[in-house]
Structure 1
Amino acid sequence: MSVKTRICMISDTHTSPPNPPQQLNNAYRYPLPKANILLHAGDLTKVGYRVEHETMIAMLQDADAELKLVIAGNHDITLDEQYFTTFGYTRHLRPEHLGAESILLTDDSTQADLRQSKTKTPNADQLRSYARSIKDLWTCDAARNAGIIYLEEGMHSFTLSTGATFTVYASPYQPEFYRWAFAYERDEDRYNAAPNGHQPTNPIPDFPGVDILLTHGPPVGILDQVPPDLNVGCEHLLRAAGRARPRIHLFGHIHEGWGARRGVWGSDGLKLESVATDAEEMLETRSAFYDVSGRAERPLRFGEETLFVNASVNTVGYEARNAPWVVDLELPLASG
């Protein structure tokens, strides 16, 4: 037994809430499409200031979805405590120029203190306290009461009021990227057990353990291309996706990769099919919609197909105008 479930997917908002509703030439505008589940694949902020996180939490609180699942990304530096307390804090000592805007915010005494002591290492306890106060914003009762759940790396299980039950493997990490947060060396395999028996801390389970794979970074070769024709996704993540064969693999990170591919798993590897979009329809509905539910012309075949989605809201020039993705699919019905 299964139940049709609507999922709204976004990523890489970088502190940009939906544009005003009267901005009809922009598909990313208020309100976000209504859904059973809202997924955010990281890079919530530009550089992790408290006021940025508060802006994004307010946006998600207002979204019409029962469950709002969120992971961090490489720009959310205050959510990576080890990174922030050893290097990341230095990014709060100077403006971060991204697109037409620059974040220069001193939203509390911690930031003011950091700016006054550029020549010495700030107090580690002070940095740690600041990072943990940011995490508290995402994990406090107010966030949970609004349906917001911040996911650490690993497996998570949920049941909706509709009876739909599903599992999510979440990871904010991606191969090292200009010394930003949540990074690992490209030759490190975080997701698969090695032939010599080495076991990662949070490996991705085999099929059918994962319904939704939610990562900040893309798998190699899938919506991960940057100029000049370079694929910068993770090969280990692709191999893990091939073992897990989730219904959906959502990611972001590479803004120019926005789009979706229908992946068909076969004995000869993975075959990717483009998912068409209509510009006028996206402007009208504020989303790129794709139906793979049981009543669709071509329902998704769990275990044989995976829908890969890069839902980066921001363009490569940091303009928040890419449409959220909305997908209808079947999820298992909880027994009993």
Structure 2
Amino acid sequence: MWFRRTSGLDALLQRPEQESFLRRFLRSPVTTTARLLYNYFTRKHPIPTQQTDSSRVRVVCISDTHNTQPQLPDGDILIHAGDLTQSGTQGELNAQIERLDAQPHRHKVVIAGNHELCLDPRFSDTATTINWKSLIYLQNTSTTLEFGDDYTPRRLKVFGSPYTPKHGNWAFECLRTNSRFWGDVGIPEDTDILITHGPPRGHLDLGWLGCSLLLERLWEIKRRPRLHVFGHIHGGYGAEIVCWDAFQRVYEGVMDRKVGWVGVVKSVYLGTARALLGRRFGLGGQDMIMVNAAVVGGVRDEKRREAICIDI
């Protein structure tokens, strides 16, 4: 009988995108248990199927397309949260702009990601020559989108930033030790939709790969955005409702390894209180929908995911 010997490289490329629960538990029982409790006590955002309320705005979210062209459903706003390209060339970017420009959405908002080398002045001086056509490009800037009519006008303020914590030598990176970075970026307090390329730590980031400084900045903002769209961590694809309460605060402390089993025990108590009361327990704050809209996934980016639609 003939047996094929699997090489170390084959094993690496064929590994699952996320470790099994047992492997995660053996490697880090505290954070794995905390994540299990968080998933149990946190509401998942329902994916809308048909828009029936004309007063609501449908936001179509994608990110990390890396030169692919996913099918895009109808909506009022199309958001691309960065990594349009793979190699970061202007030719790749222009091709993606052409494709997005042809979409029928009323407003199309994009930011760069760490792959967009041609937009980062450290790597290229071509950013000023890009023709964005109907797309609104944000780089630590805001735009106000208008909907409705003269009788029922509605405006949504959108802020976008391409920066992620430094990892290698890519575009739009910030130092992990710069505690003032997101304060200096200046996310406006009246932002309705926040777009960043990467996630905040502990949320749709495989548990711990997100930016802890971004998370702390979101805690500091008094009026938090209703929707936060990002990508970057391909394996974190999905949507969740973040409540900004004591339960969430304890969970994030465990994931950031600031507290251990004591935090897990507190999570059981606070999560149960949240479930029984049917609302936030302690601290309070406006709920936020978080979306990791990474289109490509898998160990070799062989998977293709659909756009995530959110009605706000």
TM-score by length of 2: 0.66
1:311 to 2:293 alignment: yes
Tell me if the contact between 1:41 and 1:73 (Cα under 8 Å) persists in the aligned partners: yes
1:183 to 2:222 alignment: no
Specify which structure has the higher proportion of strand. 1
Structure 1: gaps of 5 or more residues: 19-28, 86-127, 194-199, 273-297, 330-336
Kindly provide the amino acid, as one letter, of the partner of residue 266 in structure 1: D
What residue in structure 1 maps to residue 80 of structure 2?
A: 40
What residue in structure 2 maps to residue 91 of structure 1?
A: none
Matched position secondary structure for 2:310: strand
1:263 to 2:238 alignment: no
Q: State the Cα distance separating 1:268 from its structure 2 match.
A: 5.0
What residue in structure 1 maps to residue 141 of structure 2?
A: 154
Kindly provide the amino acid, as one letter, of the partner of residue 211 in structure 1: D
Matched position secondary structure for 1:3: coil
Deviation per CA, 1:93-148: give whole Å up to 9, x if none.
Answer: xxxxxxxxxxxxxxxxxxxxxxxxxxxxxxxxxxx2x4433xx222xxxx13xxx1
Tell me if the contact between 1:48 and 1:76 (Cα under 8 Å) persists in the aligned partners: yes
Alpha-carbon spacing, 1:152–1:249, altered in 2? closer, same or farther (3 Å): same
Instruction: Give me the whole-angstrom Cα distance separating, in 1, the residues matched to 2:194 and 2:109.
Output: 12
Choose 32-41 or 184-193, whichever is displaced more.
Answer: 184-193
Instruction: Give me the whole-angstrom Cα distance separating, in 2, the residues matched to 1:131 and 1:151.
Output: 12
Alpha-carbon spacing, 1:235–1:312, altered in 2? closer, same or farther (3 Å): same
Tell me if the contact between 1:223 and 1:310 (Cα under 8 Å) persists in the aligned partners: yes
What residue in structure 2 maps to residue 164 of structure 1?
A: 154
* Aligned ranges 1:129-278 → 2 under 5 Å: 130-133=126-129, 136-138=130-132, 143-144=133-134, 148-162=135-149, 163-189=153-179, 192-193=182-183, 200=184, 202-206=185-189, 209-225=190-206, 231-244=208-221, 245-267=224-246, 269-270=248-249
Structure 2: gaps of 5 or more residues: 1-53, 252-277, 279-283
Instruction: Give me the whole-angstrom Cα distance separating, in 2, the residues matched to 1:154 and 1:303.
Output: 25
Tell me if the contact between 1:247 and 1:303 (Cα under 8 Å) persists in the aligned partners: no
What residue in structure 1 maps to residue 63 of structure 2?
A: 11
Tell me if the contact between 1:263 and 1:270 (Cα under 8 Å) persists in the aligned partners: no
| Identity %, equivalent residues | 38
Instruction: Give me the whole-angstrom Cα distance separating, in 2, the residues matched to 1:155 and 1:65.
Output: 19
Number of aligned residue pairs: give it: 222
Alpha-carbon spacing, 1:189–1:137, altered in 2? closer, same or farther (3 Å): farther
Kindly provide the amino acid, as one letter, of the partner of residue 211 in structure 2: C
Alpha-carbon spacing, 1:192–1:252, altered in 2? closer, same or farther (3 Å): closer
Matched position secondary structure for 2:99: helix
1:328 to 2:307 alignment: no
Matched position secondary structure for 2:56: strand
Alpha-carbon spacing, 1:149–1:192, altered in 2? closer, same or farther (3 Å): closer
Instruction: Give me the whole-angstrom Cα distance separating, in 1, the residues matched to 2:191 and 2:107.
Output: 18
Q: State the Cα distance separating 1:303 from its structure 2 match.
A: 4.9
4+ aligned runs moved over 6 Å, structure 1: none
What residue in structure 2 maps to residue 111 of structure 1?
A: none
Q: State the Cα distance separating 1:161 from its structure 2 match.
A: 4.8
What residue in structure 2 maps to residue 51 of structure 1?
A: 91
Alpha-carbon spacing, 1:170–1:232, altered in 2? closer, same or farther (3 Å): same
TM-score by length of 1: 0.61
RMSD (CA atoms) = 2.3
Instruction: Give me the whole-angstrom Cα distance separating, in 2, the residues matched to 1:321 and 1:212.
Output: 25
